Amino acid sequence: MMTSFATPTGTERLKAAREAGLTPELLLKAFRLMQTSRSLDDREIMLKRQQRTFFQVSGAGHEAIQVAAGLISKPGYDWFYPYYRDRALCLTLGMTSLDMLLQSVGAASDPSSGGRQMPNHWADPAKNIVTSSSATGTQFVQAVGCAAGCRVLYPGEDRLVLVSSGEGATSEGEFWESVNQACLNRLPVLFLIEDNGYAISVPVEKQTPGGSISKLLAGFPDILTIEVDGTDLISSYKAMGAAAAWCREGHGPALVHAHCTRPYSHSLSDDERSYKTKHEREEEALRDPLVTFPKFLVEEGLIEASVLEEMVREIDHEILEDTHRALEADPPAPATALAHLYSEKVDPASSEFDAAAQPSGEAKTMVDLINTTLKEEMQRDERVIVFGEDVADCSREGNLSEVKGKGGVFGLTAGLQTEFGSNRCYNMPIAEASIVGRAIGMATVGLKPVAEIQFFDYIWPAMMQIRDELASLRWRSNGHFSAPLVLRVPIGGYLTGGAIYHSQCGEMIFTHLPGLRVVFPSNAEDACGLLRTAIRCDDPVLFLEHKKLYREMYNRAPYPGPNFTIPFGKAKVVKAGESLTIVTYGALVQKSLLAAQEVERRGRDTSDDVSIEVIDLRTLSPYDWEAIKTSVGKTSRVIVAHEDTLSFGYGAEIAARIADEMFTHLDAPVKRVAALDTWVGYHPQLEAAILPQTDDLVKTIDELLAF
C-alpha cells in the first residue's frame, strides 16, 4: 500500500496542523527542538574548525521529519535504531545538548559511548536508543530482530521499532533483506528513509533505479509506504503518525520516504561545492526547514518575531554553557581501554562453569549431545530461540504428521520445532547477514538466540554484522548494550568431496575480533559442555562444529548430565608426555594422538624413551596460555597444529608467544603443521595433499626430536 501526504500551503497550513493534533504549544516545542539541533550543528562546526573536536557530521535539513518522528514515538517503550544525522530525533526522544557535546569532545562522561565513538553515534538504554555504528545499512536487520524479540517478550503490546537512514543506505543488501523479513513476519518496523538527494557526492538517481525508494517497494505485501516532504513539519507529523498507527495496529511494517535537504556538506571532510551547482544549492536553501518553519509560525501569529529571536538567543546561550561544560570534561582514562569488552556479570572462564560430568547411558555422537543440549537449554530458559537455514523440522507445520522432518542439514536441530513450537525453532531465508543481524536485535532486547550459519564457507555475507556490529556492541556503548548470543557454525574438511565451498576453515579471522568468544570442540562431551557454557554466558559466542567430527566413533561420549559445563579458556591435556608438546584443536586432535602413538611405538621398538603430550585447546578465544606454558616448560619442544592454512594462521600467534615468553625453555624451534596455502580440492587425493595429515605430524615430530 502506497500513499503520499501533500505539503499544505498558505492558510491551509495552520488548519492542517490543527487537524493533525499539532497544538500551538506543540508547534513551538517542535521549533525549539529543530533550532536546538541546528544550533548544535553550528556550534560543533565551530569547535571542529577551532580544532577542539575531531570530527563533525551534520543533521541540517532533516530537522522537521526527525522531530515529527520523535513526537509520535514513545521513548523507553518503543525501540530506536537511529543513524548519524538523527540529532533532532534523539533530542526529541529526550537526549540533551550536553549529552551530544560530551560525545563531540570525546569525554569520558559521554553517555552514549564514554568517548569511544565518533560524534552522532547516540545511545541511551533508558530510552531504548540502541548504539549505532558507522556502517551504513547494518541497523536494518537488527531492527527487524528487535521487533521480533518485542513480539516474543511483550505479546499484545503495541511497541514499534523505528529504524532510519539516508537514501544511500537503501542500496545495501541488508536493507532489502530487512524489508523481506519484516514483510514475511508482518513486524512492527517503521522504516524512515531521509532522502536528501545525495549519498556524499552520489546523487539519488545514480543510487536508486528511478530515483525513488518508495516506488521500488510498491510490490511488497503488507507494508505501508508513504512519501512526504520531510522539510515540512506538519505533513511529516501526519505521515509519521499514520505509519506508526499502521505498525501499532498490527498490519505490518511501514516505510516513510521523506524528502529532505542537506544545506551543509556531508561532513566537514567534504565540500559539496565540488559536485553541487550554485543553482542547486540555492534551490535547496529555499526549502530549509529552519527558514520555512519559523516563517510559518510568525506569519500565522503563533509567535512574534522578536519572541522567536529571543528563543533562538536562549537556545544559543544554553548550548554555549553546555559547550563550556563539555570542554572541561575529562577524557577517557587510558586504563579503561579494555573495559566492557566482555560481560562483567558472567565470566565463562570462571570456576562457576567447571562442573564435573556425570556420565550415564551409552556413548553418543557429537550430533546427539549437541541436540540434547539445545533441548535442555530451551527447556531451562524460554528466552532461547533457535533459527537459521533448514533448522526447523518442517516450515509447513500441517505436514509434520506426514513427514519425518529435517532439523538441519546435519540433523542437529531435529525435533526442536516439534517439541517447542515454530516460535522457538524456525527457518530463515537464505540471507546470512539477516540471520546474524536478527540475532543481534533479539539479543539486544533480552532474548538468547542460538542462530545457525549452515556452512562456515557461507558466513562471509554476515561479516559486517559480526565484526562491525556484534563484536563491538558492548565496548562501543561503554557497557550499556550487549548481545549475548550463540552462532553455531559447521566448519572444516576431511569430508571427501566437500571442496572449496564446504570444507574451508578460517577461524583465525574471528579470533582477531575483540569482544567475540570463539569455541572449537573436538569431541561429543566437550561439545555438550562448551555449548551449554556458550548459551549460559553473557557474551556473543562463535561456536564452531567440525563436520567430520559429528558422527565419528572415536570421539563419542555418554550423556554427561543436564548441568555439565566447561569453562572457556581451559585446555585439556588429552595425552600426557615429556618429550614434546603438540598444541592443537578440532580435527587435528585425533591426528595428533595417532601421530604421537606412532612415534612412541617406534621409540619403544628402538628403546628410545619418547612420550608426546597433546593439548586440546577447546576454546580459541580465550585460550589457555597457562596450559601451554606449563607443558612447553616441561617438554622444551612444541608443535602447533591446525587445519587452517599455515601462513597468517592461528598457530602463528601461539608460536610467536611461545618464542617471546618461553624462548629460554626451548631446545628446538617452534614448528607449525597446517594446511597448504590454497583452497581445499574436490578429489580426495587432492584434498589429502592439501590438508594436514597424520604423516605430516609424524615427520615434524621426528624433525624436532632430532634437533
Q: What is the pLDDT of residues 581-600, one digit of tens each?
A: 999 999 999 999 999 999 99
pLDDT for 479-518, tens place per residue?
A: 999 999 999 999 999 998 899 999 999 999 999 999 999 9
pLDDT at 185 over 70: yes
Split at pLDDT 50, 70, 90, the class of 603 is confident
pLDDT score for 12:
83
Angle between helices 97-105 and 305-328 (to 10 degrees): 40
The whole-number pLDDT of residue 317 equals 97
Q: How many CA atoms lie within 13 A of 489 on its CB side?
A: 31
Q: What is the DSSP string of 277-302?
A: -HHHHHHHHHT-HHHHHHHHHHHTTS
Residue 11 has pLDDT above 80, yes or no: no
Mean pLDDT on 109-115? 97
Instruction: Spell out the CATH class of 351-559.
Output: alpha beta
Q: What is the pLDDT of residue 263?
A: 84
What is the predicted pLDDT for the residue at 456? Answer: 96
Q: Based on C-alpha coordinates, what's the Rg of the chain?
A: 29
- pLDDT tens, position by position, 254-273: 999 999 998 887 777 778 88
Q: Count H helices, E strands: the chain?
A: 24, 22
pLDDT band (50, 70, 90) for residue 343: very high
pLDDT for 328 equals 97
Instruction: Answer for the pair 675, 645: CB distance below 8 angstroms, yes or no.
Output: yes
pLDDT for 218: 87
- The pLDDT of residue 325 is 98
Burial (0-12, 13-18, 19+ Cβ within 10 Å), 327? middle
119 falls in which pLDDT band (50, 70, 90)? very high
Average pLDDT, the chain: 95
Pairing of strands 580-584, 638-645: parallel
Could you give the 3-state DSSP secondary structure of residue 616?
strand
CATH architecture of 2-268+279-328: 3-Layer(aba) Sandwich (3.40)
pLDDT for residue 383: 98
Report whether 384 contacts 448 (CB < 8 A).
yes
Q: Decide if pLDDT at 521 tops 90.
A: yes
| pLDDT tens string 189-242 | 999 999 998 888 888 888 899 999 999 998 899 999 999 999 999 999 999 999
In 547-625, where do the E strands start and end? 557-559, 572-575, 580-584, 612-616, 619-621
Residue range 168-184, pLDDT digits in tens:
999 999 999 999 999 99
In the predicted structure, residue 7 carries a pLDDT above the cut 80: no
Quote the pLDDT of residue 280: 85
Distance of alpha carbon 94 from alpha carbon 75, whole angstroms = 8
Fold match between domain 351-559 and domain 572-706: yes
Contact (Cβ atoms closer than 8 angstroms) between residue 342 and residue 474: yes
Q: What is the pLDDT of residues 625-657, one digit of tens each?
A: 999 999 999 999 999 999 999 999 999 999 999
Q: Could you list the active site residues?
A: 502
Q: Which of 97-101, 402-406, 538-542 has the lowest mean pLDDT?
A: 402-406
CATH number corresponding to 572-706: 3.40.50.920
How much is the pLDDT for 227? 97
pLDDT grade for 2, boundaries at 50, 70 and 90 = low
pTM to 2 decimal places: 0.96
> Which sequence spans correspond to the domains of the chain?
2-268+279-328, 351-559, 572-706
DSSP 448-479: EEEEE-S-GGG-GGGHHIIIIIITTHHHHTTT
Per-residue pLDDT reduced to its tens digit, 427-459: 999 999 999 999 999 999 999 999 999 999 999
What pLDDT is recorded for position 10?
67
Tens digits of residue pLDDT in 312-327: 999 999 999 999 999 9
Q: How confident is the model at residue 1 (pLDDT cuts 50, 70, 90)?
A: low
Cis-peptide into 622, omega within 30 deg: yes
Alpha helices in 186-288 (DSSP H): 213-216, 233-248, 278-286
Share of the chain above pLDDT 70, in %: 99
